[in-house]
Structures are given as structure tokens and as C-alpha cells.
Amino acid sequence: MTPETNPLVRTIKERCKACYTCVRGCPAKAIRISGGQAEVIKERCIGCANCVLMCSRGAKETLDSIRAVKALLASGAPVAAALAPSFPVEFGGIDPLRFAGMLKALGFKYVCEVAFGADMVSLQYRRLINENPGKKFISTACPAVVSFVEKYHPSLVANLAPIVSPMVAQARVIHETYGRDVKVVFIGPCVAKKEETARNTADIDESITFVELRSILKEAGVDRNTALDSQFDPPHPAKGVLYPMGGGLLNSAELEEDLLSGRFLSSEGLENFPEVLKNLEHGDIDADFIDLLCCNGCIMGPGISVKTSKHAREAALRRYARKSYFSIRLNDWEESVRRFRSLDYSASFAPEDQRMKVPGADALKAVLAKMGKVRPEDELNCGACGYPTCVEHAVAIIRGIAESEMCLPYTIERLKTTADELTVSYNQLAKTKQALMQSEKLASMGQLAAGVAHELNNPLGVVLLYAHLLAEQCDKDSRVFSDARMITEQADRCKKIVGGLLNFARKNKPFFRQTSLVRLIDNYFKTAPVPASLKVTVDRSGEDLQAEMDPDQIIQVLTNLITNAVEAMGGSGGLTVRTFAERESVCFSVADTGCGIKPENIKKIFEPFFTTKQIGKGTGLGLAVSYGIIKVHRGSIAVQSNSDPATGPTGTTFTVKLPRVAKDAGAIKMKTEAAGK
């Protein structure tokens, strides 16, 4: 697999928890959040692998070159290991000669130190700087830095030193020394080198990290106990071994930083090198040569598995560097330098502009407003989204690599709103469920009541008929006559109860006609027996509320409600009847300031025969009948009541809603037949 076809770094989606840590840690803003998942944008990525190091979920993985290297080793072709100078950091516990022997045991024919390539590159830098006084150069040993310049500071591409990296230089030395047919595998701490390898296939065949090498060694069963010592293959390095440390290039090339002249500058680390480039672009830097490393030195590269501190790694490298430097034979080294000085170490770079264009002020304002950032103080710049400022986040949203949901305060606000909406829906649902249960209960009661009423109706009719006949046939002063009258009265009472039950069960057919609700109520009060001690208020809506209704039945409802209200107030208080309109309904309410209905009774008030009145004072059918009548009108009847003076004024309000008569073609027309079903 090569970076040409596969990204250097990819997200393992199942592990990604969208915490935006990788967005925060990516110096190139090369991570797109889409559908709540992070994905690496190959064209923007510089291969620093910082996201891999930062992701605590292990949701980022780097390009795997293990199979390709194993295939090379198994191919029979001579393969050279180009070992990065930071190897003493990763394999410090193994004697270098034994380590070289382990690589040979794996199948590498040659084991060469890239540090010699670094020596050659250092000479090139000295020459370049001496031959171009006043011109500013940026080192090109770190492919992540080179990529960052090409993508995000294209105007500085001309400042990139036109010199290959130590890896490529070493590969050319290997080919010159051991032949063109030798395959070269770079082994180092760097993921970005895989991309550089893909760009330089004429020189390098594969690139693996130390972590990958450990895996290959383990699988092959090669360790310090099974391998023999072996010498590194020449040419041997001098000070190039210092390259993996910050300032190592300057030291190796003897371009020492001098505070007085300020000609040479070195900076390393993701937090620092982008800033240096920005400053250079702004003309703030007067140094002639700037040595930049993306990591805090290659000793901190992402392909190293040891977890020691930076200082411990520097110490390990220095120990090896001292030993190596003082054991070289200077004459041999100079001879090697002379031999390879004439090789081509030139390199060229080209802009690959990936800068995000700043969107127009209006677009920016709109995106910020969507996230609730209307005033400057709304821009918290909290960094939770992974972007340092709200504006940068908004730019990324406009460019399609971020989502507004990444803004934590915005998301919390939205969640709160959603939670509130859900609470309202839940409460409505609970109320509807309760109403449905009540309605079902009343419907089954209605069926029972209708059955009983139907069965009683005929025998009652017969009793009434014969009681009347009996009364007609006997003397009006006789005892039999008065008994017959008593039977008639009681049977009439039973008839009314049966009628009430049939009303409740919606078995009595209403006779609909278009009626003015306001006029109906006015007429009611002209004859209504309301005690003078009560304060009666009739609050009429401005409009003439028309509905198709059976006026007699609605008057019956009104009578029931007002009778109950009057009784609840016990002779004093206020009765308010109000008419009003809602979108599809005409409505009236009857409110009293009486004792209220206890909460435990509210659910039962529409049940037939439920009453809180004294025995003999009511049948308990008034509200049940009213309920049945309103239901047959396709309307609704609801009650609100407070019986606890501690929580506010006591009293009860019944609200009745009836379908409005629409004036247009789509008017609601109810058929008597349909309603009677």
C-alpha cells in the first residue's frame, strides 16, 4: 500500500467518538467532521500523525507498510535498511551491533545509517547558505514541514532549501555504493516519510516505522538472543547522528545559532513551527536559515513506541552519538565524503495550495448566528469544537469540513430546547392517554347503560300505559287512583333516568340545525332560575358564533353545568359564562367560585351515577348526559378545578367546544344520521 492510493492516516470509524481531540491537534485542519464522525482529508494532511498520538480511543491508524516490506525481503532482491539516526531512542536497550545483526537476520543484506546521508546534506546546506548570502532558506529534512509549506504557505515554497532529505541522500549513497539493483527500506520514527518515499520511488522502495519494525521482528522470531552481532555497513556517519534532536541539523552543519547575528534559527514542535512560518511570511524573521522539525525533534516522532521523556531520549541519542563520533576514523569519513560529494542532492518543491479561502462577511455572520453567536461576547472561543476561535470554526463549516453541532454551547442549548419540547410532548401524550382511557371507560359504561336502558324502556312503557289506564278507570278520590298516580310519577322519573342514560350512551338522535351560540345563551338567561344572590357575568365574544347543534340538547348541557355551579357556590359567589372562538371551534365556558372538585373526583365526574351530592339530591347523570351530548356533537368538554384554598381561589370551570360552522366550501357539515350512529 502506498500513500498515493491510501491515506497516510485514516479513522477507524467504529472507534471514533467524535470528541474533536484530533481536530484540535491537527496543525493542518485536515480532519473533516461529517455526520458526527472524523475523517482525514488526504489532500490536506501533512502526515504528522499527531492525531494518532492524541486519540485516546485508538481510532486513528497509519498506513501499514509491513506487508510490502516483508514481500521485498522475501523477493530475493538485495535489500538495504536505511536506519534513521533516532534508532538508539527506540532500541536503546540493545547493543547497536546486535541490533544491526537482528536486521541482517531479518533478511536485510545491508544495514546503513541515514546519519551519513545527513552528513552529506549538512555540507549541501553550508554550501547553499554561503553561496546565497541574504536569501532565506527553510530546511527540508522534515517532510511534514515541507508538506505544510507547500499546502499552507505556498508563497514560501521558494524558500525551501532545494536539497533532498537525509533519507533520500542516504538512498542515493547506498545505490552508488552497492548498486542500482539494491532495494532500500527506510526505517525510522516518521509517518510522513511514507509520503516522501512515495514521491521518491526512484530512490526509496519502502518506509516503515520503528513500531512496524518491532512487529516484523516479533513475527519472524528475531530478537537480541537469536541474532548475532554485525557491523553497520559503510559509509559511517559523523555528526549527522544528531539530526533527530532540535537544532541537530545546525550543529551537524556547523551553522551554530548565534544570538548576536541571529542568522540561524531552529524551531521544532507542532505548536511552534507553524507560528515560525507565519512570522516568516509576515517578514518578522531576519534569520537566513531556519531549521524546522514538525515533532519536538524526530526523537519524539510518532513511529517510536517507547514512552520516555524528551530529555531521556536526548540523553540516549547523545550517548550513542558520542560513542559513534569518537570511534569513527576521520580519514575514512573524509574519503567517503569526497567520494559521494558529487552525487545529485538537489530537490524541487511546488505549491499545493490547500488554504481555505476566507468566506464573505455575510456568510460568516449567518453561520455564526445559526450557532447563536450574534454579538461579539457570544463568541466564547472555548476551543471545544477543535478550532481555536468561533470564527475559524464558522469558516470550516462554510468550507464543509466542520459541523455546527461541534459547538458545545450551541449543542447544549439545542439539547435543552429538545428536552423541553420532549417534556411538553410527553406531558401532552400523558394527558391524551389519560383522556383516551377515560373516554374508553365512559364508552364501555355507555354501552352497558344503553343496554340496560333499552331493556327497561319497553317494560316501563307498559307500566306507564297500564297505570294511566287504571287511573282513568277509577274514582279520582279513591285510594287506587292515588296509587296509580304514584306509579305514573315514579315510572316517569324512571323514564327520565332511562332517557338520561340513552343520552349518555349517545343513543338519542340529536336534531342539528345552524344555531347562534351567543343567542342561545342569551335566551337561556332570560328564563334561567339563577339565584339573585349570585353575581352572574355573561362574557360574549364579539362575533356571532354559529355552530350546527341540537339547541335543546346544548341547553340541557348548559342547564346541567349551571345547576352544578350554583349548587357548588351554596348561595354566594360569582358565575361567569363566556363564549369565545378558537380556530375550528365555537366554545363556551361555565365558571364558578364554588368549593371546587377534589382532584381524586375529577376523573369520575363524567361517569353515570357519580355524585358528591347528598342522597336524593341528584341522580349523578347530569354531567354524564352532558358528556354524551357533547360527544355526539363531535365536540369536547373539559374541566379545570381547584378545591384547595391554599393553592389559590377555589372554583370550577367547564369548557365546551363545538365544531364551528365553516363559511367556505369545506365547511364542516354534520349529518344527523351520522351523529346518531
**Rule CB under 6 A: which residues touch ligand SF4?**
9, 25-26, 28, 30-31, 40, 45-51, 142-144, 189-190, 192, 293-295, 298, 301
Decide whether 237 or 596 has the Cβ nearer to ligand SF4.
237
Q: Is the peptide bond before 235 cis (omega within 30 degrees of 0)?
A: yes
Closest approach, Cβ 13 to ligand SF4, in A, equals: 15
Closest approach, Cβ 277 to ligand SF4, in A, equals: 14
CA distance 595 to 72: 95
Closest approach, Cβ 321 to ligand SF4, in A, equals: 16
> What are the angstrom distances between the C-alpha of 266 and each of 139, 195, 203, 276?
9, 24, 28, 9
345 neighbors 164 (Cβ within 8 angstroms): yes
Decide whether 28 or 467 has the Cβ nearer to ligand SF4.
28
b/e 171-185 (16+ beta carbons within 10 angstroms → b): bbbbbebbeeebbbb
The β-bridge relationship of strands 289-293 and 264-268 is parallel
546 neighbors 660 (Cβ within 8 angstroms): yes
b/e 117-126 (16+ beta carbons within 10 angstroms → b): bbbbbbbbbe
Closest approach, Cβ 90 to ligand SF4, in A, equals: 12
Decide whether 28 or 106 has the Cβ nearer to ligand SF4.
28
Closest approach, Cβ 167 to ligand SF4, in A, equals: 9
Q: Give me the residue label for grid cell 527500506.
A: 185
User: What are the DSSP calls for 380-403, one per residue?
Assistant: ----TTSSSSHHHHHHHHHTTS--
Q: Which of 540, 642, 648, 660 is nearest to 589 (CA)?
A: 540
CA distance 105 to 216: 12
Residue 488's DSSP bridge partners are: none
Decide whether 298 or 471 has the Cβ nearer to ligand SF4.
298
Decide whether 139 or 488 has the Cβ nearer to ligand SF4.
139
Decide whether 190 or 321 has the Cβ nearer to ligand SF4.
190
Decide whether 167 or 521 has the Cβ nearer to ligand SF4.
167
The C-alpha cell that represents 195 in the structure block = 509520503
* Number of other residues whose CB lies within 10 A of the CB of residue 478: 11
CA distance 626 to 562: 12
Residues with Cβ within 8 Å of residue 243, at least 6 apart in sequence = 85, 115, 118, 141, 166, 249, 252, 298
Q: Is 120 left (phi over 0), alpha (psi -120 to 50) or beta?
A: alpha
Decide whether 124 or 589 has the Cβ nearer to ligand SF4.
124
Decide whether 246 or 510 has the Cβ nearer to ligand SF4.
246
Decide whether 86 or 503 has the Cβ nearer to ligand SF4.
86
Decide whether 21 or 124 has the Cβ nearer to ligand SF4.
21
273 neighbors 287 (Cβ within 8 angstroms): no
CA distance 621 to 15: 66
